[in-house]
A = this chain, B = another copy of it.
Amino acid sequence: MSDNNYYTSEQHGDFEVYELGDFVLQGGETLRGATLAYTCYGKLNSEGDNAILFPVMFSGTHAAMAPYVGKGLALDPEEYFIVIPNQLGGGLSTSPHNTRGPFHTSYFPDLSIGDDVNAQHQLLTHLGVKHLQLVTGWSMGAQQTYEWAVRYPNMVERAAPIAGTAKTTNHCSLYVDVFSEALTSDPAWNNGVYKQSSDVEQGLRRMAHVFAMMGVSQNFYNDEVWAENGFSSKEDVLKGLWENWFLPMDPNNLLSMAKKWNSADVSLHTNGDLSAALQSITANVFVISFEQDMFISPADSLKDQQMIPRSELVSIPSPWGHFTMLGISADDFQAINGHLKRLLETQSL
């Protein structure tokens, strides 16, 4: 267990903590006294059926997704009860950096996307949610979205996986390996046993550079798109966006999420048959793809979408690539919000 004041409400705004108790992981181990951090917006109706679940991405918390929730937006708290659960391992929920005993630091057990969904299902049941109007999430949030749609067809009315796949692709897995290797290349990583996360600063910076290279498109850099979004130079993007994002984080937390990312696969429920898993989805689904995404290519999203019965592929051409979801460009934010709104108004695809 290491202190890290990044993982606090001062940094991410207030959040609730649900006690999962002795939480049995899909891998068989038990996280004793596990917790799930989350935020809620709006009010659950008496039927318990106006809920939206909005799980978060790698290295993100509810704070990163909260801007998509607001009056007049698709995720409108005057209409819906919106729950943003933080990932297990993500730093606010039970995670390597805040766990004592045999599971501290890199001894934390491997997590799966299914573990997140189990924890979220437990939370939603506790909150009285019976039906989800929408599950949506970006990147690893999309992985959780697919897992929900496959496992709970009767509960999930609509799903919008954004820039993520139902099973981690070979290339995306290579990407996860490369940034993990950049992080652990720092001798201060020391197999996960360090005094403070900032000891691993060189590794965190290297990891940030890999994200910088793959996270946005070539023309974001080559056409200096950064200038339209408040950055003064390529160097300023590297420091002000990417290093600034990762430097305060805990390497063991990041690697716990990275391993989970790599293992995502809804076909675990259908003996490895991805098509069978996706064909079993009954929700109306918008597969939202970013055209210049180097993590998840439009071809990857199209393959998933074509296996889902009631589905549509939606494509957004932003130079922000995978990170279009950050909505740093107002056009991107409006596009994503617009598609979510249209899906929420859809009764049947």
**Is A186 on the interface with B (CB-CB < 8 A)?**
yes
Q: Does A300 count as interface, using CB distance less than 8 angstroms?
A: yes
Q: Does A50 contact B (CB under 8 A)?
A: no
Q: Does A299 contact B (CB under 8 A)?
A: yes
Total chain A interface residues with beta-carbon distance under 8 A: 33
Residues B221 and A169 in contact, CB atoms below 8 Å apart: yes
Tell whether A65 is near chain B: CB-to-CB under 8 Å. no
Stretch of A113-121, A149-157, A176-184 at the chain-chain interface: A176-184
Mask, A187-228, CB within 8 Å of B = 1, is 100000000000000100010011011100111111010000
- Complex Cα distance, B170 from A294, in Å, reads 16
Contacts of A339 in B (CB 8 A): none
Q: Residue A234 at the B interface, CB < 8 A?
A: yes
Q: How far is the CA of A185 from the CA of B202 in the complex (A)?
A: 9
In the complex, A238→B299 CA distance in Å? 23
Contact call A174/B213, Cβ cutoff below 8 A: yes
Give the dominant DSSP class at A's interface: helix
Given the complex of chains A and B, what is the CA–CA distance between A206 and B220 in angstroms?
26
Query: Contact at A218–B187, with CB atoms within 8 Å?
Result: no
Nearest CB in chain B: distance from A255 CB, A: 16
Q: Which residue of B has the minimal Cβ distance to A234?
A: B170
Q: A170 vs B217: C-alpha distance in the bound complex, in angstroms?
A: 11
Contact A170:B299 (CB < 8 A) given known A206-B181, A209-B181: no
A18 close to chain B: CB less than 8 A: no
User: Is the CB of A297 closer than 8 A to any CB of chain B?
Assistant: yes
Give the nearest-CB partner of A226 in chain B. Answer: B170
| CB <8 Å contact, B185 and A299 | no
Asked if B171 contacts A213 (CB within 8 A), the reply is yes
- Most chain B CB atoms below 10 A, which of A187, A210, A212, A222: A222
Q: Which residue of B lies closest to A299 (CB)?
A: B219
**Complex interface: chain B residues within 8 A of A212 (CB):** 174
- B297 A221 Cβ-Cβ under 8 A: no
Q: Interface residues, chain A, CB within 8 Å of chain B?
A: 169-172, 174-175, 177-178, 181-182, 185-187, 202, 206, 209-210, 212-214, 217-222, 224, 234, 238, 294, 297, 299-300
Q: 9 smallest A-B Cβ distances: which pairs? A: A170-B221, A185-B185, A171-B221, A171-B218, A169-B222, A218-B297, A174-B213, A178-B213, A170-B234
**Pairs A–B under 8 Å by Cβ, sample size 22:** A169-B221, A170-B221, A170-B224, A171-B213, A171-B217, A171-B219, A172-B218, A174-B209, A174-B213, A174-B221, A174-B234, A174-B238, A175-B213, A178-B210, A185-B185, A185-B186, A185-B202, A185-B206, A210-B210, A218-B294, A218-B297, A222-B299
